[in-house]
């Protein structure tokens, strides 16, 4: 089959060669309709840039990519550490692509399979559609997902709802009935809504035990320690303030603890606080939390990816990592 050229892509898509180049190299600079038309043409014609075609013939590039949002948050840092440690003794270097908008996510997922010299890709906590999945598969970019599932790729997940249930059951066992929640709102459209799932499990377990989680006990705000601190103060101002607060992440739990100190509340005597993740700092501040194996998820993702690179016919693996409630001083 003759090599499809960029000129043919431009002609079939009804755009200039420069526009095709921008779609491949700076997709966020091209409007969505044009970008979709060019990508559909690339997929239909099976276009691969010359340099990338030559690289694919060599079958190895020595690079593993990680596509991740919020990569400065503690939970993502620990996952990335697991990936980096797992690659230490491998021949691959690590390339990190930060996602801060849906346009940037879509741009990377459009261009990485076609233009980037990657052997494999790990996608952390980023949902994408079946069209994108087909592009990744058609261009034979081996891919592993963390916190999301999409055929035909291997994935590593936890049960966020089960984590919320674990927190509720523990607080009920400790005698709490005024149980509140501090979580996320205004989540970007490119993010996984783990806060919502944790709240669902928490709510369901409380209701099953005959404890109502009223709307006034659910404080949602854009994710940050400061917003969590302010949300906790709003809960403390209620006529009947909660005796326990479950924060959707350890990062937010730290904000709740700061608010408790500012109100001179004794933790855990007057207020129990539980987080989620068990990031490094949780142990240092004595935070009771739900531990998810963050570093392990990164290591497992690398193991799955390297196994597929060694044996592409290996079937996809779907791994569910366990959660553990770690009891410390705050609850």
pLDDT tens figures, 8-44: 888 888 888 888 888 887 777 888 888 888 888 887 8
List, by residue range, all CATH 1.10.260.40 domains of the chain. Answer: 1-47
Q: How many CB atoms lie within 10 A of CB 221?
A: 19
Would you state the pLDDT for residue 116?
63
Q: What percent of the chain lies above the pLDDT cut of 70?
A: 95
More confident site: 178 or 107: 178
CA neighbor of 180 nearest in space, from 220, 213, 226: 213
In the 8-state DSSP scheme, what is residue 187?
-
237, burial (CB in 10 Å: exposed 0-12, middle 13-18, buried 19+): exposed
pLDDT at position 50? 59
Using alpha carbons, select from 260, 189, 271, 186 the residue that is nearest to residue 220: 186
CATH number of 58-157+297-321: 3.40.50.2300
Tally Cβ neighbours within 10 Å of residue 124. 26
Q: Is the pLDDT of residue 54 over 50?
A: no
Mean pLDDT of 262-290: 97
Confidence of residue 261 (pLDDT cuts 50, 70, 90): very high
Q: Sorting pLDDT into bands at 50, 70 and 90, what band is 58?
A: very low
* pLDDT, greater one: 90 or 290: 290
**Model confidence at 1, in pLDDT bands (50, 70, 90)?**
very low
d(CA 55, CA 58): 5
pLDDT of residue 67 exceeding 70, the answer is yes
Q: Range with the lowest mean pLDDT among 11-25, 227-241, 299-313?
A: 11-25
Could you tell me which residue, 50 or 178, shows the higher pLDDT? 178
pLDDT beyond 50 at 91: yes
Residue 320 CB-density burial (10 A; 0-12 exposed, 13-18 middle, 19+ buried): exposed
Residue 87 has pLDDT above 60, yes or no: yes
In terms of C-beta distances under 8 Å and separation of at least 24 residues, what long-range contacts does 126-135 make, across chains too? 126/67, 126/68, 126/69, 126/99, 126/190, 126/191, 126/192, 127/190, 127/192, 132/106, 134/43, 135/39, 135/43, 135/109, 135/110
CATH superfamily assigned to domain 160-291: Response regulator (3.40.50.2300)
Q: Which pLDDT band holds residue 52 (cuts at 50, 70, 90)?
A: low
DSSP string, 43-85: HHHT---HHHHHHHHH---SEEEEEEESTTSHHHHHHHHHHHH
Nearest to 125 by CA among 143, 145, 110: 145
**Does 106 score more than 90 pLDDT?**
no
pLDDT recorded at residue 245: 98
**pLDDT of 60 strictly over 80:** no
Query: Between 2 and 119, whose confidence is greater?
Result: 119
What CA–CA distance (Å, rounded) separates 179 from 117?
50
pLDDT tier, 61 (very low <50, low <70, confident <90, very high otherwise): low
State yes or no: pLDDT of 51 exceeds 70: no
- Looking at CATH, the fold of the domain delimited by 1-47 is given as 434 Repressor (Amino-terminal Domain) (1.10.260)
Note the helical H segments in the chain. 6-13, 17-25, 32-45, 50-58, 74-87, 102-115, 130-138, 160-173, 194-208, 225-236, 250-262, 280-284, 294-310
**Residue 149, SS3 per DSSP:** coil
**Numbered ranges of CATH 3.40.50.2300 in the chain:** 58-157+297-321, 160-291
- In the structure, what pLDDT confidence band is assigned to residue 254 with cuts at 50, 70 and 90? very high
Arithmetic mean of pLDDT over the chain: 90
Q: Which two tokens stand for residue 175?
A: 């005698």
The pair of structure tokens assigned to 300 is 């497992």
| Residue in this structure with the two tokens 């369901």, named with its chain if needed | 204
Yes or no: say if 38 and 23 are a contact pair by the CB < 8 Å rule.
Answer: yes
């Amino acid at each position: 089959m003759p090599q499809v050229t960029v000129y043919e892509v431009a002609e079939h898509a009804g755009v200039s060669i420069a526009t095709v180049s921008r779609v491949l190299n700076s997709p966020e600079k091209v409007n969505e309709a044009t970008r979709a038309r060019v990508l559909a043409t690339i997929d239909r014609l099976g276009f691969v840039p010359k340099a990338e075609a030559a690289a694919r013939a060599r079958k190895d590039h020595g690079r593993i990519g990680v596509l991740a949002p919020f990569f400065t948050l503690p939970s993502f840092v620990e996952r990335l550490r697991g990936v980096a440690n797992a690659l230490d003794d491998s021949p691959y270097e690590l390339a990190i692509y930060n996602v801060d908008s849906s346009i940037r996510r879509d741009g990377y997922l459009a261009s990485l399979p076609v233009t980037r010299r990657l052997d494999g890709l790990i996608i952390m906590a980023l949902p994408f559609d079946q069209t994108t999945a087909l592009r990744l598969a058609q261009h034979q970019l081996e891919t592993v997902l963390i916190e999301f599932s999409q055929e035909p790729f291997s994935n590593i997940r936890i049960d966020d709802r089960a984590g919320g249930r674990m927190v509720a059951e523990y607080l009920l066992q400790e005698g709490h009935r005024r149980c509140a929640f501090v979580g996320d709102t205004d989540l970007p459209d490119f993010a996984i809504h783990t806060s919502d799932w944790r709240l669902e499990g928490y709510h369901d377990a409380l209701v099953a035990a005959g404890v109502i989680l009223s709307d006034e006990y659910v404080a949602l705000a854009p994710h940050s320690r400061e917003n969590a601190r302010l949300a906790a103060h709003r809960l403390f101002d209620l006529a009947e303030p909660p005796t326990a607060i479950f924060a959707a992440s350890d990062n937010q739990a730290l904000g709740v603890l700061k608010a408790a100190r500012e109100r001179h509340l004794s933790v855990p005597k007057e207020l129990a606080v539980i987080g989620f993740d068990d990031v490094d700092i949780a142990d240092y501040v004595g935070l009771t939390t739900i531990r998810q194996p963050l570093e392990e998820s990164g290591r497992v993702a690398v193991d799955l990816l390297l196994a597929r690179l060694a044996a592409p016919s290996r079937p996809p693996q779907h791994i569910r990592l366990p959660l553990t409630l770690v009891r410390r001083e705050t609850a």
